Amino acid sequence: MTEKRGGSLPNLCNAVPADEPPFATVTASGGRRLIAALNPAAAKAGLAPGMPLPDALSFVPGLVTAPADPAADRAALTRLAEWCGRYSPWTAPDETDGIKIEITGSAHLWGGEAALVADISRRLLRQQIAHRIAVASTLGTAWALARHAADAGAPALPTSQDERAALAPLPVEALRLDPDTVQGLRRVGLRHIGELYPMPRDALARRFGANGLENSVAYRLDQAFGDLPEPLSPLGETPSRRVRLSFAEPIADPADLARAIERLVEDLAARLAREGMGARRLALGFHRVDGRVEHIRLGTARPTRDPRHLAKLFAAKLDTVDPGLGVEDMILAVFAAEKLDPEQTEFSPHPPAAGVTILPPPLAGEGRGGGIASLLDRLGNRFGLDAISHIEPRQSHIPERASIYVRIEEKRGSASNVIPGSPAGRGPESMNTGLWKMDSGLASSARPGMTSGEPTGNSRKPPRPVRLFRPPEPIEAQWVLPDDPPFRFTWRRRQHRVRHADGPERIAEEWWIEDSAADPRASGDRVRDYYRVEDEEGRRFWLYRAGLPGDPPPRWFVHGIFA
Amino acid sequence: MPELPPKRSGDIASFDRLSRLIGDGSLRPHGDKPARKIPSSRGIGSDPISGYAELQVASNFSFLRGASHPDELVVTAAALGHAAIAITDRNSFAGIVRAHHTAKTIGIRLVVGCRLDLRDGTSLLAFPEDRAAYGRLTRLLTLGKRRAPKGECHLDYADLVAHGEGQILIVLPPAEGDVAEFAAHLSLARQVAADFRGRAYLAAHHLYRGDDASRLARLADIAAMTGLPLVATNDVHYHEPERRPLQDVVTCIREHCTIAEAGFRLAAHAERHLKPASEMARLFRGYEDALSRTLEIVARCPSKPARSAIAGV
């Protein structure tokens, strides 16, 4: 039988040595200044929270006060709850003075509940935090015990059978009821929880259920006994997978931290490999001895479980972590994972010789395309993924528009509908696969009807150079007939005599785009005729004539060279 | 509005000027007053050597494909001095009526025909040789349309053969696809050549795709291998190059996309317009037979369209 255990530790103010002078925080309420919280010395002097400050000062003239800062208190409590993540991923601040931890399934990692509580206690004391800890099957019981039964150094740890009995002597306030309901119960003489046990349930519900469900006595009792579920909403996002590493002594040296990272990612990688998953979003928490938690958060371009890759990503960001006085725990959590089928990426015919350690083979994501993903991750986690673009083919007849820079971030989203020619776009013509295909089928003559019958490849588009000049470089050209290629041209002060040519490939402007301002050089050429030409020395050029013969005279350009 | 320059074959200067006028669109031959142009164009059209008739013309009755009205096309063909013009809409004779009225008014010969897009992806142009063949062709279209949901026409090659008596056919090579691919599957071309002996041709286009020389050579090879004579057409989709934006827009409507998304579904240039015979002669230099065969086909078709065709069957 699995036992659901909730832990609860009300966090009082910082424990201080007994010789500390009385101290209190003060809050303003309706023009009056009231005591908000106090230290043991002040409590011993007879002060209590809620007391007006003048009264308190008359009791303890030497009272040291400071204004209460609830926001800072809340932040501190949240930080402490986060620190408690070392015991379980399910932690949350409880009201203003407690932390609840779901330790089901994690207590055995510490050698049982008692050992776990001892560990919490020891570490809290080191941070000088006074505390009372209770462990129980339900949040309600743990809440009651921690606030009304446990004491510093004496945690309440009833077995699940004893919980009912342990709860019985506690005052009814321990049921998390509002003061009105408590008052009502007291008025009818019900002071202890045990006295409620024999009461008829329907009568209780009728008489003490008017102030809403949360304050209904029956509801709270059911919660305490586990008859009603009370889930714990954890602090922040709950990771899907966690690997933890604790150190006997706190570590602070970056080299030690890096080694620890390696061990953690190896554990995680092994687990992900078993599950056939790859991590997309991770966080590495550094739990410092002073109760703070530092984080490194990572995103990956594609699912990965390659420990070397992950270790590199974390190591690259290690300098953003301040280990303070030392890190006593590191928790690597995966928040998003995707299916990643195992793939064989290496084939090693020789088993490693005995005594030779070999690096673990990359598990996955290192194979085809994995290289670029690793690169993207490393660049992206350093510069931000939005700083990286890559080139995508785009369906445009205009050569310089046939590719487009796409931000990596956009690509992840559904940007396909804004990028013409993305694979998602349907079209009778497939993607421009032939665009970059090199082709040697240059026709042997410019004269139609005299071309050789050599195959021109299977590409749907005529061959294009791999790289284009940007902007196209102007040339001086001489030609005869309107559709003829030049017989001679001068490019970069060198004259080339055209031996062979093929063309023209006519490409008209994209009339729906007005970008003459963006590229003044290209403006005005409403029609281009492209020719592949070969000069006497066998060099091949991709020339075009901007504009048709007439006024103004057309201009010639080299747009690229064929390798 | 500039007047058409007189045609003198071999005169580079005038021919240069003409192609410039056509190419950059400053020439608007269809104009508002077509009647004025006809006398000058008659002289060119009657030139037997460089005569040309456009046989592959999609009007806007090829729904969301053509971008010009049949009458615009007919008037432009007359102004350019074509010997005749065919209107070959996709699986339809719907454009013939308006084309005929205009052709009769301005006095250019109209060739009645249609484009058949078969279910297997084959496309052919069909021109009935006589009134009876016209009836068979219309029956064929009726058959195909009854089989299919509205707006479509499901025809197979077997249907074409069954109604094929008296039809002149022009097999269309894939315009966008690779001719090499087409050359590898010549069974259909051979089949057409066998089934329509003496009445089947192979269309050749100048696509301005950079490889036109080799493409034409390859088509000529195919023509020689299959016995389908080559006939030049310009696969006309609009009467003047200025219609390219409209053609692009109707393409987008057809493909349900925006102009920015259309990509390669749009034509790269505005060359699918009616071109003068001299321009066609320049593009098909070395293939003069292919040009003169257009006139041969015109001659084989009835000089007067059947009355029922005009009735818009």
Q: What pLDDT, in 10s, does the model give residues B254-290? A: 999 999 888 888 988 899 999 999 889 989 989 999 9
Residue B145 lies inside a defined structural domain of this protein = yes
Q: B262 and A420 in contact by Cβ < 8 A? A: yes
Bridge partners for A171 per DSSP: A192
Sign of CA dihedral A33, A34, A37, A39: positive
Q: B264 and A511 in contact by Cβ < 8 A? A: no
Domain extent listing, chain A: 1-21+62-232, 241-339, 388-432, 468-562
Q: A482 and B178 in contact by Cβ < 8 A? A: no
Q: A502 and B210 in contact by Cβ < 8 A? A: yes
Residue B26 lies inside a defined structural domain of this protein = no
B174 contacts on A by Cβ (under 8 Å): none
Cα–Cα distances (Å) from A62 to A59, A319, A379, in that order, read 9, 47, 60
- pLDDT of B26 reads 38
Q: Is the pLDDT of residue A428 over 50?
A: no
In chain B, the residue whose alpha carbon lies closest to the alpha carbon of A420 is: B261
Q: Is the pLDDT of residue B18 over 60?
A: no
CATH code of the domain covering residue B207 = 3.20.20.140
- The alpha carbon of residue A425 is apart from the nearest alpha carbon of chain B, in Å, by 8
Calculate the average pLDDT of chain A: 76
CB pairs under 8 A between A and B: 135
Cα–Cα dist A322/A287, whole Å? 11
Q: Is the pLDDT of residue A470 over 70?
A: yes
- Comparing CA positions, the residue from B72, B73, B83 lying closest to residue B107 is B83
Residue B280 lies inside a defined structural domain of this protein = yes
- The alpha carbon of residue A513 is apart from the nearest alpha carbon of chain B, in Å, by 9
- pLDDT of B295 reads 92
Give the confidence band of A531 by pLDDT, cuts at 50, 70, 90: very high
DSSP per-residue string spanning B249-267: HHHHHHHT--HHHHGGGS-
| Strand boundaries in A84-193, DSSP class E | 91-94, 98-102, 129-131, 134-136
Interface test with A, best of B20, B117, B212 (most A CBs within 10 A): B212
Are A185 and A172 in contact, with CB atoms under 8 Å apart?
Answer: yes
Helix %, strand %, coil % of chain A (to 5): 30, 30, 45
Q: Is the pLDDT of residue B175 over 50?
A: yes
Name which of A67-81, A488-502, B56-70 the model is least confident about: A67-81
Kindly give, in sequence order, each residue whose CB lies less than 8 Å from that of residue A116, ignoring residues fewer than 6 positions away: A7, A87, A103, A106, A107, A110, A135
B178 contacts on A by Cβ (under 8 Å): 458-460
* Position with higher pLDDT, A118 vs A423: A118
Length, in residues, of chain B = 313
- pLDDT of B257 reads 92
Tell me which range, A208-217, A459-468, B23-32, B77-86, is most confidently predicted by mean pLDDT: B77-86
Among candidates A395, A432, A549 on the partner chain, residue whose Cβ is nearest the Cβ of B20: A549
- pLDDT of B304 reads 65
- Comparing CA positions, the residue from A503, A494, A483 lying closest to residue A543 is A503
- The alpha carbon of residue B184 is apart from the nearest alpha carbon of chain A, in Å, by 12
Q: B210 and A530 in contact by Cβ < 8 A? A: yes
Q: A451 and B287 in contact by Cβ < 8 A? A: no
Q: Is the pLDDT of residue A326 over 60?
A: yes
Tell me which range, A38-47, A162-171, A273-282, B57-66, is most confidently predicted by mean pLDDT: B57-66
- The alpha carbon of residue A444 is apart from the nearest alpha carbon of chain B, in Å, by 10
- pLDDT of A140 reads 85
- pLDDT of A345 reads 55
- The alpha carbon of residue A497 is apart from the nearest alpha carbon of chain B, in Å, by 20
Name which of A89-103, A320-334, B197-211 the model is least confident about: A89-103
Cα R_g (chain B), whole angstroms: 18
- pLDDT of A525 reads 67
Cα–Cα dist A252/A562, whole Å? 57
Q: A549 and B282 in contact by Cβ < 8 A? A: no
Q: Is the pLDDT of residue B44 over 80?
A: no
DSSP per-residue string spanning B212-275: HHHHHHHHHHHHHHHT--EEE---BSBSSGGGHHHHHHHHHHHHT--HHHHGGGS-SSS--B--
In this structure, CATH architecture of domain A1-21+62-232: 2-Layer Sandwich (3.30)
- pLDDT of A202 reads 77
Among candidates A427, A527, A549 on the partner chain, residue whose Cβ is nearest the Cβ of B264: A427
Q: Kindly report, residue by residue over A343-379, the tens digit of the pLDDT.
A: 655 555 555 444 444 444 444 444 444 567 777 777 8
User: Residue B166 is which amino acid?
Assistant: G
Residue B17 lies inside a defined structural domain of this protein = no
Question: In chain A, pLDDT over 90 holds for what percent of residues?
Answer: 8
Residue B194 lies inside a defined structural domain of this protein = yes
Q: Which structural domain range is residue B224 located in?
A: 32-310
Q: B263 and A503 in contact by Cβ < 8 A? A: no
Sign of CA dihedral A310, A316, A321, A324: positive
Helix (H) or strand (E) segment spanning residue B12 = helix B12-23
Helix (H) or strand (E) segment spanning residue B282 = helix B277-283
Cα A526 → chain centroid: 49
Residue B3 lies inside a defined structural domain of this protein = no
Cα–Cα dist A69/A86, whole Å? 27
Give the confidence band of A153 by pLDDT, cuts at 50, 70, 90: low
The one-character DSSP state at A154 is: B
In the predicted model, what is the mean pLDDT of residues A490-513?
Answer: 89
Q: A420 and B261 in contact by Cβ < 8 A? A: yes
- pLDDT of A344 reads 59
Name which of A56-60, A294-298, B26-30, B134-138 the model is least confident about: B26-30
Cα–Cα dist B291/B289, whole Å? 5
Residue B155 lies inside a defined structural domain of this protein = yes
- The alpha carbon of residue B172 is apart from the nearest alpha carbon of chain A, in Å, by 18
Q: Kindly report, residue by residue over B198-251, the tens digit of the pLDDT.
A: 999 999 999 888 888 888 888 898 899 899 999 999 999 999 999 999 999 999
B245 contacts on A by Cβ (under 8 Å): 511-512
- A527-535 vs A494-508, strand pairing mode: antiparallel
- pLDDT of B237 reads 94
- pLDDT of A471 reads 86
- pLDDT of A168 reads 85
- pLDDT of B290 reads 93
In the predicted model, what is the mean pLDDT of residues A78-104?
Answer: 84
With tokens 């009616």, the residue in question is B274
- The alpha carbon of residue A458 is apart from the nearest alpha carbon of chain B, in Å, by 7
Q: What global pTM score does this model have? A: 0.56
- The alpha carbon of residue B246 is apart from the nearest alpha carbon of chain A, in Å, by 11
Among candidates A428, A443, A549 on the partner chain, residue whose Cβ is nearest the Cβ of B16: A549
Q: B211 and A512 in contact by Cβ < 8 A? A: no
* Position with higher pLDDT, B205 vs A204: B205
Q: A425 and B263 in contact by Cβ < 8 A? A: yes
Domain A241-339 indexed as CATH 3.30.1370.10: no
In chain B, the residue whose alpha carbon lies closest to the alpha carbon of A397 is: B268
Domain count, chain B: 1
Cα R_g (chain A), whole angstroms: 37
Cα–Cα dist B262/B256, whole Å? 9
* Position with higher pLDDT, B199 vs A45: B199
- pLDDT of A346 reads 54
In chain B, the residue whose alpha carbon lies closest to the alpha carbon of A509 is: B269
Cα–Cα dist A118/A126, whole Å? 12
Kindly give, in sequence order, each residue whose CB lies less than 8 Å from that of residue A323, ignoring residues fewer than 6 positions away: A251, A252, A257, A286, A288, A294
Q: A420 and B181 in contact by Cβ < 8 A? A: no
Q: B268 and A395 in contact by Cβ < 8 A? A: no
Q: B214 and A548 in contact by Cβ < 8 A? A: no
In the predicted model, what is the mean pLDDT of residues A469-477?
Answer: 89
Give the confidence band of B298 by pLDDT, cuts at 50, 70, 90: very high
In chain A, the residue whose alpha carbon lies closest to the alpha carbon of B262 is: A420
- Comparing CA positions, the residue from B167, B186, B268, B277 lying closest to residue B233 is B277
Residue B195 lies inside a defined structural domain of this protein = yes
* Position with higher pLDDT, A438 vs A115: A115
Interface test with B, best of A527, A533, A551, A559 (most B CBs within 10 A): A527
* Position with higher pLDDT, B25 vs A153: A153
With tokens 């390798």, the residue in question is A563
CB atoms within 10 A of CB A392: 16
- pLDDT of B144 reads 93
